[in-house]
Amino acid sequence: MTDKKPGPGGFTGDPDAALEVTKTGGCCDGGAVSSPCCGTSAQASAEKSCCGSTAKTEAVAAGQSCCG
C-alpha cells in the first residue's frame, strides 16, 4: 500500500496526551476505577450522585464515553 495521503484524521498534537486524561480530572478526578463516571468530584457531590448530570450531558454531547 502506498498510502501517504495526509488527512484531517489522527491527533492534532501528541498522541501520548491520551495517556494523561485520567490524571487531569476528566472523570471524578480520575479516581473512578471502581465506579467509572464523568465530571469532577465537586460536580458529583452537587448532584448527589457518582456522576454529575450536567457533566454527563456535556461529556456525552462532546462525544466522550461515559458510564456508571
Partner 1 sequence: MTTGEAPAGLLAGIDPERMAATVDALAAPAFAGRRAGSSGGEAARAWLSEQLAGLGAHVSADPFAVRAVPEIYAVPEAIWHDGARPRRLMFGRQMLPHLASADLPSARRGDLTIAGAGDPAGRWLLVPSEMSLFEAYGHAHGAAGLLIGRGTDPDGWHYTMLAGSDPGPLPMLTLDPATHAAMTAGSGRLAASAPIRRTDVTAANLHAHWHPGTGILLTAHYDGVGDHPGLRQPAASDNASGVAVVLEAARVLAAALPGGAGLAVALLDAEELGALGSAHHAARLREAAAAPLVINVDGAGRLEGAAAVEAGGPAHALLARLDQAGRHTGLPLKPGPAASDNRRYTAAGLAAVGIGAGMGGYHSPADTPDRVEPGTLAAVCRLVVATAWLAATNTTTLPSLIGD
The contact set with partner 1 (CB under 8 A) reads: 1-12, 15-22, 26-27, 32-38, 45-51, 53-54, 56-57, 59-68
What is the smallest separation between the CB atom of 57 and partner 1, expressed in angstroms? 6
Letter for the amino acid at 12?
T
What is the smallest separation between the CB atom of 27 and partner 1, expressed in angstroms? 4
What is the smallest separation between the CB atom of 40 and partner 1, expressed in angstroms? 11
Cell of 67: 458510564
Letter for the amino acid at 6?
P
Angle in degrees, CA 60, 29, 41, rounded to 5: 80
